[in-house]
Chain A
Amino acid sequence: MQPLIPLLTTTLPVLYALSVAAYGRAYADETSTGGRFGPVVLRLAVLFHVLYLSARGVTEGHLPLASAYDFLSATALSLAAVYTYLELRQGVRTTGIFVLPLVFLMQVISSAYGNTVPASQPPLFPFWFELHTMTAVLGYGAFFVSAIYGVLFLLLYREIKANRLSFFFRRMPPLETLGRMNVSAASAGLVLLGLAILMGVGWARMANVALAKDPKTWLTVGAWCLLGFAVLAYHRLGWRGPRAVYASLAGFTTLLLSRVVTDLFVRSFHTWR
């Protein structure tokens, strides 16, 4: 599978660029062919991306999360996959332009600066820890998409409340659908991050790592609880509108904060080196 890697490293940004262009066109003009062309290219890109990471995994002998560039690529895949899932479920194609440029940017950086000719290396961590990292990255991606839909919801909410019925208003799906997309993505993130936390706790017990002193663990668990509350409030308490969205955005902000705190202000086994 190794010969595939350089080819896919170049192909992925091209495919994501094409899907950005197609979704951009679909947003600008509903009747354009972009609406039909975009999803096809994007699904192809997601498929190639899975193939790329699998090829990397097979070649290197461990999950491809050895550097920040690998992390970016996995997050890009997560964003693209969660978006594709939401698009398939809700049938909404006009919001792709708000998600896919990020995917493109992440993959371009990863392809340009990452290791394009990987060789077999001994794994740095046990498999469970790698799996914990991968599920966490996928969870972050889902929360990222949820946050994007949260922001879109708030923008549309304000437009409708203020009777400013602009081009953005015409292109967006119903407010209720945006709210549902926000919660659906958060639910997917909740499951993935929940699994990551469980696997992380299991690994820490086996490796005798003291989680109690790790601020990232506490902040992540806190963010998970906040996001869990937002999803629960939507489904069980009937929360709708900005209140539910603000709750999920608070959870996402805490999650980002945990990353920033870990990387910039404290040293722990969670810090990227």
Chain B
Amino acid sequence: MSASAEAVAPELGFFCVGLNHETSPLEVRDALVLSDEEVARAIRAIRERAGASEALVISTCNRTEVYARGAELPTSFVAALLQEIKGLDLLGSGKSYLYTYREPESIRHLFRVACGLDSQILGEPQITGQVKDSLTLAAKLGGSGPVMERLLDAALRSSKRARTETGIGRGPVSSAYAAVNLATKVLGSLADKKVLLIGAGEMAGLAACHFMEAGVAQFMVANRSRERAEKLGAAIAGRAISLEAVPVALPGADIVVSATSSNEPIVRESMVRNAMKIRKNRPLLFLDLAVPRDVDPQVAKLPNVFVHDLDALAQLVAQSLAQRRAEVPKVEAIIETEMTRFLKWHRSLAVKPTVTAFRTHFEEIAKEELDRHRGRFRPEDHAALEALVHGIVQKLLHRPTTRLSRADDESEGIARVDAVRELFGIDQEESDADRDAR
């Protein structure tokens, strides 16, 4: 591409340098999570010291990425900046944690991040909010401009489309969430259901959180240590009971989540049989998250009693992940469409000034010629003459300007813009108004 073509079809000059869960261990990622103040420092440094016109920082527990427009960011610069802010020497260890993307890969990478394709858990939805927050922060700090904002809008639109038009975010991808999913599949709405937690450890707590998010409001916590049961009970607004009270509590529960470290089954068949009589055979779901299992396998043989262990939940998680992986090509197609749309918009920024300059060029020639020959006509004919010349110029320019305006749509469009500039000697420098339009 010639120098003038580069001038009319400028690259975005969009770069990305960062690290994520694939290139760095957890301790490095943890150490590099930036607070809002630290993001502000980074954005200032990228603009002032690296000369970028726009900058954005995305910092989550799984990634820290720096995006800049208008200046290339050397890896060494970003490593030094992160060391300055967080005190962690990324280059000293001899390991290469940082990756760099140049255009168009940098744009594609941003879109992939926003859609959850680059996440540790494929298709996880939190990243969309995190990208949105990063943009809000950059805008507040004056780091992002119209091009970066438009780019982020396009990335977020891809993410929204990916979630509504594909199955990239569907299905449970953790055992605790799979437990909720299974409960919903058996019992429908969980809003009026009661959950009995047997055990008060981390797994039981995590499951309780997911059930709360699904709308469950009534919990009972049974644990060998009453103190721990009360602690978890207080956190989830549940009632603490002793482990011996489980047979009494069972008829009132709809879902039983068991996650103890007991070597013997805690829930026996006779216990459940009695409970089912009292609850008039209404469905009862056991989610046995313990190894070895807390629920006697014989319980599963009772009618309307459903028992699922970690293997069943793992099966659900594996199915969801496989399903999400199968959706990746659809998301990638959405990304390509939205990228093309954005790049077309960006190219149109280069076309507009040329069209304006092209028209001005001809109108100026017409005006000069009119002024030169004005004396040869009667004053009362001047208006008609001006209208005639203006009409001729407009008719001559109509087709070329229409074709030029569509240049961003066509593959040879930029070359055509370049040819027009060269043929008619249109000035390379853009007016202030043109720059504002960009």
Chain A residues in the interface with B (C-beta under 8 A): 29-31, 160-161, 163, 165, 169-170, 172, 174-177, 237-243
**In the complex, what's the smallest C-beta–C-beta distance from A135 to chain B, in angstroms?**
32
Closest residue on chain B to residue A239 by CB atoms: B281
Q: List 29 A-B contacts (CB under 8 A).
A: A29-B167, A30-B167, A31-B165, A31-B167, A31-B330, A160-B182, A160-B185, A161-B300, A161-B306, A163-B308, A163-B311, A163-B312, A165-B312, A165-B315, A165-B316, A169-B185, A170-B323, A174-B186, A174-B187, A175-B185, A175-B186, A175-B187, A175-B283, A176-B283, A238-B280, A238-B282, A240-B281, A241-B303, A241-B304
Q: Give complex CA distance A30, B186 in Å.
A: 20
On chain A, the residues within 8 Å of B188 by CB distance are 174-177
On chain B, the residues within 8 Å of A240 by CB distance are 281-283, 304
Q: Is the CB of A176 within 8 A of B186?
A: yes
Q: Is the CB of A241 within 8 A of B281?
A: yes
- Main SS class of interface, A: loop
Closest residue on chain A to residue B171 by CB atoms: A170
Give B135-185 interface residues, CB cut-off 8 Å to A: 164-167, 170-171, 182, 184-185
On chain A, the residues within 8 Å of B165 by CB distance are 31
Number of A-B contacts (CB under 8 A): 60
Interface size range on B against A: 20 to 34
**In the complex, what's the smallest C-beta–C-beta distance from B254 to chain A, in angstroms?**
10
On chain B, the residues within 8 Å of A174 by CB distance are 184-188
Closest residue on chain B to residue A163 by CB atoms: B312
**In the complex, what's the smallest C-beta–C-beta distance from B434 to chain A, in angstroms?**
42
On chain A, the residues within 8 Å of B330 by CB distance are 31
On chain A, the residues within 8 Å of B170 by CB distance are 30
Closest residue on chain A to residue B184 by CB atoms: A174
Top-10 shortest CB links A-B:
A176-B188, A174-B188, A241-B304, A163-B312, A238-B280, A175-B186, A174-B185, A31-B167, A177-B188, A176-B187
Q: Give complex CA distance A166, B48 in Å.
A: 57
Given A163-B312, A169-B185, are A243 and B281 neighbors across the interface (CB < 8 Å)? yes
The reply on B356 being an interface residue by CB < 8 A is: no
The reply on B319 being an interface residue by CB < 8 A is: yes
On chain A, the residues within 8 Å of B315 by CB distance are 163, 165
**In the complex, what's the smallest C-beta–C-beta distance from A31 to chain B, in angstroms?**
5
Q: Give complex CA distance A176, B285 in Å.
A: 12
Q: Is the CB of A31 within 8 A of B166?
A: yes
